[in-house]
Structure 1
Amino acid sequence: MSYNSLSGLIPHSLSNLTRLRRLSLSKNSFTGKIPSSIGSLLRLEELFLDNNNNLTGSIPRSFNGLVNLNRLELQHNNITGDLPVLYQLRNLFFLDLSDNRITGNFLTSRFSKSIIELSLRNNYLNGEFPLNVGELKFLQVLDLSHNLLSGIIPSVLFYHSSLQQLTLSYNNFTLLQMPEDLRHRNNKLIAIDLSYNNLHGFLPAFMASMPKLSALNLEHNNFSGMIPKQYAVKVVVPRNNTSSFERLLLGGNYLFGPIPGPLLGLKPGSVNISLVDNCLYICPNTLYICHGGNQKSFLDCKKFRPMIP
């Protein structure tokens, strides 16, 4: 029943469909609260209530009774309340609560340890990142962008055995914790986006040693120091059995010094790289990696007083 013009309240009579395995009401115009009676559909495996825009209230506690549910999508609504406790849904693999008005701390204990993809983008989650995220051992995709999270991005994320995509952009993180032992680093991360935070210090050189990492976005933070030569090597001449950087966005920081030599010979379109809005000595618009904006003014760079390694 998705992609129609259905409106009004979601009918409680849906709970009579006791053999139902898939319920999709996406992209309609339903209003009001999600009926708690949906929690009685014990055979339900997939539930899509996304893109209705006007569903309000909190997620019913009765959803913990959906023991066979493996996919739950409620994104693009006006759902409020604290992040729900769904750890009893042991078969839940995919959860998307993005683009709502959900509040509270991001606590991994609220979710089933079977979760594979978790998207909570564009809500009002706050507090610090939990150190026990490793307990979600099957997690492959995590998107917490556009929230109010703060403090440290813990190194445990870079040891996670399954994580492939990590998106923490548009938050208030201030520090990136470096892994102490790179021998046990994550070998599966493909894409990392930490842009639009308040991270400071040197660029994390260890990320260049992640064998499958091909997309790294660190734009619009307060990183300083020089661009690590390891980044340039991973772009131009990656080591055996490792992926090259196909996307490397470092603009909007306080990086200084010369551009690493290997990057100067890149041809337009070969790699998506941006170095604009930094404190680099020479970054002319004739270099495509410097297109899209100027470097910061001398006064801005001096005021920040970037660290010299």
Structure 2
Amino acid sequence: MKSLQHLDLYGNAFGGGFSSCFGKISNLKSLQVSFCSLHVQLSQIMKYLSCMTDSLEYLNLERNYIGSSLPDVLANFSSLRELRLGFNELNGSIPRAVGKLPRLALLDLSSNEIVGSIPDLLPLSSLRELDLSHNQLSGLTESMDAFPNLRSYTSILTISSDWIPPFQLDIIRLTHCKLGPHFPNWLRDQNNIFVLDLSAAGILGNIPSSQRMIYLEPKNALLGAKDALLGAKDALLGAKNVEEN
């Protein structure tokens, strides 16, 4: 199957390991093996995919039981644009090898057991979506300032209240971030937000009225949340009426 370029195996019950037959598909551009009950080490998977280092652009291994740390051989997959490894059992820290993927536009490592701080991701100038939520990460690298194309950012990192981001986001999800106790000042300058998730962020006090759509859970003790949400509802209804007229 050397001519095969796109392979989707979503939702099968393979179990066990990862087949070595993938090592014979050298021209594959996209591979999805999510929701497949895989019990295997990521390092072994990447070994089997080593023949695709120049061709593979999309790799989705979400929602399996894939373990081990992120291997350094990831740096060899220079064509990768999307890497989805969320909801697995990955551990260890994020290696610097991840920062050596110049075409990477989406990186999802959510809901694993990854620890430590983020390494220098400065070379990832094409990155648009980054999801590191529900891990055990402890710091925000200054190299985050180097992503002018970043449109969606999700994490559980501790973020300084006086941080000034260099980008304007449409979607911000900061669930379980340590943002409190005050509403973060840097969010006030985000003018393009239409979805803002600050659930379980430990915030106290008032919500600035300028935020248009906010998803909040009871773990935030924000005064005026009801008024802010009602205002967002009125704004949406008003926009709908304008469109209808």
Instruction: Settle same-fold status: TM greater than 0.5.
Output: yes
2:206 is equivalent to residue 227 of structure 1: yes
Match of 1:129 among 113, 118, 121: 118
2:49 is equivalent to residue 63 of structure 1: yes
Question: Do the aligned partners of 1:153 and 1:176 also contact (CA within 8 Å) in 2?
Answer: yes
What's the CA shift string for 1:85-109, capped at 9, x where partnerless? 3122121111111111111112353
Matched letter for residue 143 of structure 1: D
Question: Do the aligned partners of 1:221 and 1:252 also contact (CA within 8 Å) in 2?
Answer: yes
CA distance in 2, matches of 1:202, 1:146: 22
Match of 1:87 among 75, 79, 104: 75
Q: Which has the higher contact order (CA 8 A, sep 6+)?
A: 2
With over 3 angstroms needed to count, the CA separation of the structure-2 counterparts of 1:91 and 1:54, relative to structure 1, is closer
2:92 is equivalent to residue 104 of structure 1: yes
Matched letter for residue 53 of structure 1: S
Deviation at 1:56, TM superposition (A): 2.4
With over 3 angstroms needed to count, the CA separation of the structure-2 counterparts of 1:213 and 1:267, relative to structure 1, is closer
With over 3 angstroms needed to count, the CA separation of the structure-2 counterparts of 1:177 and 1:108, relative to structure 1, is farther
Question: Do the aligned partners of 1:179 and 1:185 also contact (CA within 8 Å) in 2?
Answer: no
For structure 2, which runs of at least 5 residues remain unmatched after alignment? Answer: 237-245
TM-score normalised by structure 1 residue count: 0.65
CA distance in 1, matches of 2:134, 2:82: 20
Residue 61 of structure 1 aligns to a residue in which SS?
Answer: helix
Matched letter for residue 20 of structure 1: L
The equivalent of 1:275 in structure 2 is none
The equivalent of 1:6 in structure 2 is none
Residue 33 of structure 1 aligns to a residue in which SS?
Answer: coil
Which structure: greater helix fraction?
2
Deviation at 1:118, TM superposition (A): 1.2
Matched letter for residue 175 of structure 2: S
The equivalent of 2:159 in structure 1 is 176
Deviation at 1:156, TM superposition (A): 4.4
The equivalent of 1:160 in structure 2 is 147
Deviation at 1:115, TM superposition (A): 0.7
Question: Do the aligned partners of 1:32 and 1:57 also contact (CA within 8 Å) in 2?
Answer: no
Kindly report which structure 2 residues correspond to 1:22-101, keeping only aligned pairs within 5 A, or say none.
22-58=6-42, 59-66=45-52, 67-85=54-72, 86-101=74-89
Which structure: greater strand fraction?
1
Question: Do the aligned partners of 1:103 and 1:123 also contact (CA within 8 Å) in 2?
Answer: yes
For structure 1, which runs of at least 5 residues remain unmatched after alignment? Answer: 1-16, 236-244, 273-309
Match of 2:194 among 183, 208, 214: 214
2:194 is equivalent to residue 194 of structure 1: no
Residue 97 of structure 2 aligns to a residue in which SS?
Answer: helix
2:232 is equivalent to residue 246 of structure 1: no
What's the CA shift string for 1:61-85, capped at 9, x where partnerless? 2423311011111112111111133
Question: Do the aligned partners of 1:247 and 1:271 also contact (CA within 8 Å) in 2?
Answer: no
Match of 1:269 among 195, 214, 233: 233
Query: Pairwise CA RMSD of aligned residues?
Result: 2.9
CA distance in 2, matches of 1:266, 1:222: 22
Deviation at 1:125, TM superposition (A): 0.7
Matched letter for residue 196 of structure 2: L
Larger radius of gyration: 1
Deviation at 1:254, TM superposition (A): 4.7
CA distance in 2, matches of 1:221, 1:265: 17
Matched letter for residue 160 of structure 1: F
